[in-house]
């Protein structure tokens, strides 16, 4: 009797570990649910909206203008921020007046 109970317990533990590994890989490499914070994407995405983020396109396709990317907030690493891509590497920026956008923030 004890052997049967232990066998079932070990099988349950094995299945739990297997499904946990599958869920981890799915959320890490395929996509997951993310809560974005900040008003910068309004009205498309509101503050504290929950979105499904897929991770496959960053491996198979290049990021393009208009895409929405999710990143860790530099001020609070526990929260995520959502931003729309408006420029890519190599783009030229035309300004009409001097700006301090590109000054080093030390």
Active site positions, annotated: 40, 83
Give, rounded to a whole angstrom, the gap between the first and last alpha carbons of the chain: 68
What's the domain count of the chain? 1
Domain-located, residue 104 = no
56-79 pLDDT, tens per residue?
A: 777 777 788 888 888 888 888 887
The arithmetic mean of pLDDT across residues 11-34, rounded, is 88
Domain-located, residue 93 = no
Structure tokens at 48: 């504290």
| CATH assignment at residue 9 | 2.10.109.10
40-60 pLDDT, tens per residue?
A: 777 877 888 888 888 777 777
Helical residues (DSSP H) of the chain, grouped into ranges: 2-25, 57-60
Q: Extract the runs of DSSP E, i.e. beta strands, from the chain.
A: 31-35, 50-54, 68-72, 80-84
Which residues constitute the domain of residue 84? 1-88
CB 17 within 8 A of CB 39: no
CB 81 within 8 A of CB 36: yes
């Amino acid at each position: 009797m004890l052997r049967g109970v232990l066998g079932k317990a070990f099988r349950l533990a094995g299945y739990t570990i297997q499904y946990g590994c599958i869920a981890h890989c799915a959320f890490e490499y395929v996509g997951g649910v993310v809560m974005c914070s900040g008003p910068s994407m309004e009205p498309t995405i509101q503050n504290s909206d929950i979105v499904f983020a897929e991770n496959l396109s960053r491996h198979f396709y290049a990021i393009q203008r208009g895409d929405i990317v999710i990143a860790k907030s530099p001020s609070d690493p526990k929260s995520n921020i959502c931003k729309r891509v408006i420029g890519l590497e190599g783009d030229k920026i035309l300004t009409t007046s001097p700006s301090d956008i590109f000054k080093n923030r030390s």
